[in-house]
Amino acid sequence: MRKVVVSSTIAAGFFLAGPQIADAALGDQTLRLGMTHSDVTELQNALKEKGFFTYERATGYYGTITEQAVRDFQRANNLTVDGIAGRQTFAALKGNSGQAAPSTPSPSAPPASSAILRRGANNSQVGNLQQALKDKGYYSHSVTNIYGAITEEAVRKFQAANNLKVDGIAGPQTFAALGTSGNNTSSSGSNNSNAAPAPSPNPNQSTNSSLLREGSKGNSVTQLQDNLRSLGFFSGNSTGNFASVTAQAVRTFQVAHNLTADGVAGPKTLSKIDEVLKNPSLSTPPTQNTGNNNSNASGSTGAFVTNIMANASKYIGTPYLWGGTTARGFDCSGFIQTVFREQGVSVPRTAAQQWNAGRSVSQPSVGDLVFFETYTSGPSHNGIYIGNNQFIHAGSSTGVTITSMSNSYWSQRYLGAKRLH
């Protein structure tokens, strides 16, 4: 009867039915991991409105990111935490009682002991949390200001060791046990040399005082773009807006100089840019490839790897498409085949065939392929290693993106690395 009413509403006047259609459709069926449906899109948009779905757009695919968002919403609303969107979850989402995700406290907010940080947060408070966990031996990575899987796992371990609720969310009790308020001051009295300093308001100050990433704007970004152009890594106009093109140029520079290829211009990257500007002979800008063979098409291994990374990075954000081999959409092996083909290297079509075609290496280097066992036995997913235990790949729930091999999902499914160059 409910579906008949919805259909009648659509027939009677589509221009009046926008919100009602969405509300009626959401909840018609239980949604769970692995499903692809327009109802999943509705679910993702509803979760996004409440601050739980942090991916840049609704995809219609119920992957691990959506499942985690559902779990977080369920936990915040005292529902059974199973990651499955059923009647109770839909009722809480559509009703006024559904709790929104805690917002990041503003500088004028009440005492920062009320701060709540969770996976997906990206600010200096996360950096302070990471440093506090690092000081106590629970976090062994660099301070990134990004609350990802590694930070969440460190919080869980700390909570378990201190008899706190183990949920991976840094709230008042966790901050109290850490001995920090969770505000924007350092978690200890000493200077935190590992954390990224805040950008300087002085436009004439060196960009080395900034951490520049996608979304950053200002004179520091303009200077970064000018510097990368003079070194041959950036060909666009200097806009002062750090968008995907600038991130790609930064990644290409990082690969060429053996830095972590994360597309973020932090102190190490900015210092290396300054160093190369003073001594241009150190620079290895990407080259154009016109060859059609498999023998290090760009002339040297270093340049070849740099170009592979540049090719891969330009596709970040491309949606996932089963069987896809173009910029309209990729699957995992189609993405790799395209990236290597653009450098004149022909590789087989499937992940299993690419596994067989490559030469095994004990530890991956930048440009190597890393393989995983997912939905079937043997190599069924792969990506390109970019350093710092990260890889770029076409994920079914994310499209082309950069992911840590250390997270709980991929680390358990890793099979090995192969070299195709």
Fold of the domain built from segment(s) 112-178 = Muramoyl-pentapeptide Carboxypeptidase; domain 1 (1.10.101)
CATH 1.10.101.10 domain position(s) in the chain: 2-94, 112-178, 207-282
Check if the beta carbon of residue 22 is closer than 8 Å to that of residue 42: yes
Q: Quote the tokens at residue 421.
A: 């160059």
- Cβ neighbors of 335 (< 8 A, separation 6 or more) are 312, 315, 318, 383, 393, 394, 400
Identify the CA nearest to 389 among candidates 144, 31, 67.
Answer: 144
- Cβ neighbors of 408 (< 8 A, separation 6 or more) are 149, 153
Identify the CATH number of the domain defined by range 2-94: 1.10.101.10
What's the confidence (pLDDT) of residue 390? Answer: 86
* pTM of the model as a whole: 0.44
Q: Read out DSSP for 22-40?
A: HHHHTTSS-B-TT-B-HHH
Coil vs helix vs strand at 125: helix
Check if the beta carbon of residue 214 is closer than 8 Å to that of residue 247: yes
Distance, in Å, from the CA atom of 248 to the CA atom of 261, rounded to the nearest integer, reads 9
Coil vs helix vs strand at 386: strand
Identify the CA nearest to 317 among candidates 404, 244, 253, 235.
Answer: 244
CATH 3.90.1720.10 domain position(s) in the chain: 301-419
What's the confidence (pLDDT) of residue 101? Answer: 56
Fold of the domain built from segment(s) 301-419 = endopeptidase fold (from Nostoc punctiforme) (3.90.1720)
First to last CA, the chain: 61
- Amino acid identity of residue 285, one-letter, is P
Identify the CA nearest to 193 among candidates 266, 273, 120.
Answer: 266
Q: Quote the tokens at residue 326.
A: 């173009």
What's the confidence (pLDDT) of residue 5? Answer: 41
Instruction: DSSP letter for 406, please.
Output: T
The 10 Å CB-count burial string (b at 16+, else e) for 282-312 is: ebbbbbebeeeeeebbbeeebbbbbbbbbbb
Write out the catalytic residue numbers.
Answer: 332, 381, 393
Residue range 207-282 in CATH 1.20.1420.20 = no
Coil vs helix vs strand at 226: helix
Identify the CA nearest to 211 among candidates 187, 234, 193, 195.
Answer: 195
What is the residue-level pLDDT of the chain in tens, covering all 421 positions? 444 444 433 333 333 333 333 334 567 788 988 788 888 888 888 888 887 887 767 888 888 788 888 888 888 888 888 889 988 888 888 874 455 555 444 333 333 345 788 887 777 888 888 888 888 878 877 777 777 777 888 888 888 888 788 888 888 888 888 887 565 543 333 333 333 333 333 333 333 445 888 888 888 888 899 888 888 888 778 888 888 778 878 877 877 777 776 778 888 899 889 888 888 777 666 554 434 444 444 345 667 887 888 788 888 888 999 999 998 999 999 999 999 998 889 999 999 999 999 999 999 988 999 999 998 889 999 999 988 788 999 998 888 888 889 888 899 999 999 998 8
What's the confidence (pLDDT) of residue 326? Answer: 92
Distance, in Å, from the CA atom of 149 to the CA atom of 133, rounded to the nearest integer, reads 14
